[in-house]
């Protein structure tokens, strides 16, 4: 059977093999649920565990925003260890968010969960809504909000870098002073760990670092500084 008409199609399974590639599979919550499959040798569970281990201490009642929460795999894991947080799940897919809430309540029936079905414009100047948050997390989702460009496309890479920094500034503005952003995402040619860390610093974050890097996945993060400077840096 010829590959013609399939390899170039947005419906081809090959479109899902690399994070950041364009496809419409995310419209089907079941597709996200299948991402949970995999043994201990699989990179994604190990990557997700590294993200959770990188989190700062979270006292009861802390407010957490999950950007691009999808079907809530990360949130359901987090609620197992921190059952008394206030979770806000942000995603453009309403059906996925409803499944996320089901997952979280199965893990912790009394979980405090708010759903925010909305898309995020990375170039908007306003902080992400609903804050301030003590913690913002994201798992393999920020590249969907600020899509990367091909490695050989210099103008596209510049646009992506600017959009990525702008998105991080929106997150920065939604944090309480001293709050953290810890996110995991894909690294790509010409936008690897160094570029992720540089973007965090450009957005105003302090204590910028990488907690995990393996293959095409990395966990990076930073902290909003405390004091008067924290309220103004995101507007730069």
Please write the tens of the pLDDT for every residue from 162-182: 999 999 999 999 999 999 999
User: CA 89, 145, 96, 115: dihedral to nearest 10 degrees?
Assistant: 20
156 in any annotated domain = yes
Three-state DSSP state, 100 = helix
Q: Which residue has the higher pLDDT, 11 or 53?
A: 53
pLDDT band at 154 (very low <50, low <70, confident <90, very high): confident
For residues 34 and 182, give the distance between their C-alpha atoms in angstroms, rounded to a whole number. Answer: 24
pLDDT band at 13 (very low <50, low <70, confident <90, very high): low
pLDDT band at 229 (very low <50, low <70, confident <90, very high): low
- Confidence (pLDDT) at 94: 96
Q: Domain range holding 157?
A: 32-235
pLDDT band at 156 (very low <50, low <70, confident <90, very high): confident
For residues 70 and 5, give the distance between their C-alpha atoms in angstroms, rounded to a whole number. Answer: 29
- Return the exposure string of 41-54: e unless at least 16 CB atoms fall within 10 Å of the residue's CB, then b: eeebbebbebbbeb
CATH, residue 69:
3.40.50.150
138 in any annotated domain = yes
Q: pLDDT per residue over 114-148, tens digit each?
A: 999 999 999 999 999 999 999 999 999 999 999 88
- 144-151 LR contacts (CB < 8 Å, sep 24+): 144/20, 144/26, 144/68, 145/67, 145/68, 145/120, 146/122, 147/20, 147/22, 148/20, 148/186, 148/188, 148/191, 151/188, 151/189, 151/190
By the 8 A CB rule, do 217 and 48 touch?
A: no
Q: How many domains does the chain have?
A: 1
pLDDT band at 153 (very low <50, low <70, confident <90, very high): confident
200 in any annotated domain = yes
Kindly report the three-state secondary structure assignment for every residue of 147-159: CCCCCCCHHHHHH
> Does the pLDDT value for residue 113 go beyond 70?
yes
160 in any annotated domain = yes
8 in any annotated domain = no
Three-state DSSP state, 179 = strand
By the 8 A CB rule, do 205 and 68 touch?
A: no
Q: Phi, psi at residue 185, to the nearest 5°?
A: -160, 175
16 in any annotated domain = no
Q: Which residues lie across from 89 on neighbouring strands? A: 66, 115
Instruction: Give first-to-last CA distance, the chain, whole Å.
Output: 55
87 in any annotated domain = yes
Mean pLDDT (the chain) is 84
């Amino acid at each position: 059977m010829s590959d013609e008409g399939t390899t170039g199609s947005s419906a081809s399974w090959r479109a899902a093999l690399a994070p950041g590639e364009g496809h419409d599979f995310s419209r089907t919550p079941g597709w996200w649920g299948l991402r949970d499959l995999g043994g201990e040798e699989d990179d994604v569970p190990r990557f997700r565990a590294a993200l959770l281990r990188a989190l700062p201490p979270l006292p009861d009642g802390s407010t957490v925003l999950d950007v691009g929460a999808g079907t809530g795999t990360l949130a359901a894991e987090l609620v197992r260890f921190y059952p008394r947080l206030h979770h806000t799940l942000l995603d453009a897919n309403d059906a996925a968010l409803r499944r996320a809430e089901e997952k979280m309540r199965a893990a912790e029936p009394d979980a405090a969960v708010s759903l925010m079905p909305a898309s995020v414009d990375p170039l908007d100047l306003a902080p992400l809504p609903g804050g301030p948050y003590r913690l913002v997390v994201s798992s393999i989702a920020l590249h969907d909000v600020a899509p990367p460009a091909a490695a050989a496309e210099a103008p596209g890479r510049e646009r992506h870098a600017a959009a990525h920094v702008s998105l991080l500034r929106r997150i920065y503005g939604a944090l309480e002073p001293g709050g953290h952003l810890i996110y995991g995402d894909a690294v790509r040619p010409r936008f690897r760990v160094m570029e992720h860390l540089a973007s965090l610093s450009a957005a105003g974050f302090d204590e910028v670092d990488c907690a995990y890097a393996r293959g095409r996945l990395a966990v990076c993060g930073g902290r909003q500084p405390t004091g008067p400077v924290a309220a103004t840096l995101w507007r730069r």
